[in-house]
């Protein structure tokens, strides 16, 4: 895929984004990105990952700036622009907004990337916001483990353009674009909403993958809690619950925007969005069941801790009872009375030991038989 930078598209990025670039480079070195074109570095900090013009389901040859691409698309009735952006700054989004007629409120949301899933209508342009998610592999779940990483995906859908704005490394779109161009040209002929469907489908499919991998983690936690002598730490269980809440915030609010989209898109595209809606419903049900299961696991672990503490207290009390026998015996013969006839007996010392040891053994056996030791 091509990458274009021209004029306003090659402005210098802010310092924070420049500092983030080495981090993404290290992630690619460690294998944490997918290696698709839109996950790669962009020369000179341009946010434009790819800009293509499509007519009758086929991508027109050539490299275009966003301005040139829109002019070409407007010159044909069957053409549209697919502009892909990754973490644009305010200047770049402002330039694109002027060219494509985007509303300032939607542009602000696309830059800040701190929105809940929603669908808004600004005249002839629809603005869809989704939260992306990906599973973060980890060797062992601890109180600091990151399980789910979330980002944002915004889609502007106009009559002759679709603009995708991605924040974070989850749900790359390079493979989506390749799949549409090579294997689903008939779908691509349907225009910008077909691209919006393909992107939404990728985001929701990632939800399903994350849900399956989270389920595997929950199985490990559950097994650890109910395995004798190998209980999972409460901190790790609580951390998993926090990660699940983060995942839930990405998945559940998307139900209403998807239901609205099914009602407004053309019928030939609506059936595709209904399929995505079914997948999302499945994920929501999974997340809800995981939340209930994790609550049960947490309560079971807390109950185990309480039982363990009670057992420890019973053992301490049992040994204290045995020690009391010795304390009582030593206390009686340490009072220094003048008239204690048994002290003059030849076998008084061995008898004292025999009585103390006998009482201690009997008490130990009684406590052990009743489960105190």
Based on the domain organization, do 109 and 48 belong to the same domain?
yes
Q: How far apart are CA 208 and CA 274, in angstroms?
A: 16
Q: How far is CA 368 from CA 310, 314, 358, 372, 373, in A?
A: 15, 11, 15, 5, 5
Decide if 156 contacts 196 (C-beta within 8 A).
Answer: no
* Tokens read off for 277: 């809606």
Give phi and psi for 118, each to the nearest 5.
Answer: -165, 165
Domain termination site, one of 303, 324, 342? 303
Based on the domain organization, do 323 and 187 belong to the same domain?
no
Q: What's the whole-model pTM score?
A: 0.71
Determine, yes or no, domain membership for 53.
Answer: yes
Mean pLDDT of the 30-46 span: 44
Domain termination site, one of 263, 287, 303? 303
pLDDT band of 299, cuts 50, 70, 90:
confident
The helix (run of H) or strand (run of E) holding residue 157 is strand 148-157
Determine, yes or no, domain membership for 17.
Answer: yes
User: Among 128, 277, 121, 99, which residue's Cα sits nearest to residue 195?
Assistant: 128
Domain termination site, one of 262, 285, 303? 303
Based on the domain organization, do 119 and 155 belong to the same domain?
yes
Determine, yes or no, domain membership for 270.
Answer: yes
Higher pLDDT, 90 or 30: 90
Determine, yes or no, domain membership for 2.
Answer: no
Based on the domain organization, do 147 and 204 belong to the same domain?
yes
Based on the domain organization, do 177 and 257 belong to the same domain?
yes
User: Among 321, 302, 309, 316, which residue's Cα sits nearest to residue 365?
Assistant: 321
pLDDT band of 305, cuts 50, 70, 90:
confident
When mean pLDDT is compared across 24-38, 251-265, 342-356, the lowest value belongs to 24-38
Based on the domain organization, do 284 and 354 belong to the same domain?
no
CATH number at residue 244: 3.30.460.20
How many CA atoms lie within 13 Å of 32's alpha carbon, on the beta-carbon side? 15
For the chain, the average pLDDT equals 81
**Which domain, by its residues, includes 341?**
311-369
Tell me if residue 181 falls in helix, strand or coil: helix
pLDDT digits (tens, 9 = 90+) for 184-213: 888 988 999 999 999 999 999 999 999 999
Based on the domain organization, do 125 and 152 belong to the same domain?
yes
Determine, yes or no, domain membership for 1.
Answer: no
Based on the domain organization, do 339 and 284 belong to the same domain?
no
Split into its structural domains, the chain has a count of 2
Based on the domain organization, do 45 and 192 belong to the same domain?
yes
């Amino acid at each position: 895929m091509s990458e274009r930078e021209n004029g306003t598209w090659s402005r210098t990025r802010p310092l924070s984004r420049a500092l983030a670039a080495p981090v993404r480079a290290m992630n690619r070195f460690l294998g944490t990105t997918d290696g698709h074109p839109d996950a790669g570095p962009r020369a000179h900090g341009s946010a434009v990952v790819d800009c293509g013009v499509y007519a009758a389901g086929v991508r027109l040859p050539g490299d275009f700036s966003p301005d040139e691409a829109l002019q070409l698309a407007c010159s044909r009735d069957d053409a549209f622009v697919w502009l892909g952006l990754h973490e644009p700054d305010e200047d770049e989004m402002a330039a694109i907004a002027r060219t494509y007629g985007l509303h300032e409120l939607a542009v602000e949301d696309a830059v800040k990337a701190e929105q809940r899933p929603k669908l808004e209508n600004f005249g002839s342009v629809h603005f869809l916001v989704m939260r992306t998610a990906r599973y973060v592999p980890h060797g062992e779940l601890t109180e600091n483990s990151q399980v789910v990483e979330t980002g944002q995906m915004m889609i502007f859908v106009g009559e002759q353009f679709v603009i995708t704005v991605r924040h974070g490394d989850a749900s790359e779109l390079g493979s989506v674009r390749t799949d549409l161009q090579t294997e689903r040209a008939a779908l691509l002929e349907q225009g910008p909403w077909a691209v919006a469907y393909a992107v939404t489908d990728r985001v929701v499919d990632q939800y399903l993958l994350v849900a399956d991998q989270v389920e595997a983690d929950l199985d490990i936690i559950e097994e650890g809690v109910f395995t004798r002598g190998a209980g999972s730490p409460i901190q790790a269980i609580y951390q998993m619950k926090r990660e699940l809440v983060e995942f839930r915030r990405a998945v559940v609010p998307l139900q209403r925007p998807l239901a609205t989209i099914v009602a407004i898109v053309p019928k030939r595209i609506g059936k595709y969005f209904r399929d995505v809606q079914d997948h999302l419903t499945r994920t929501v049900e999974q997340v809800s069941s995981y939340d209930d299961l994790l609550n049960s696991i947490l309560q079971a672990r807390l109950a185990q801790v309480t039982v363990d503490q009670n057992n420890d207290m019973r053992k301490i009390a049992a040994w204290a009872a045995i020690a009391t026998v010795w304390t009582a015996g030593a206390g009686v013969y340490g009072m220094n009375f003048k008239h204690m006839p048994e002290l003059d007996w030849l076998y008084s010392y061995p008898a004292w030991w025999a009585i103390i040891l006998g009482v201690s053994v009997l008490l130990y056996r009684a406590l052990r038989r009743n489960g105190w030791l």
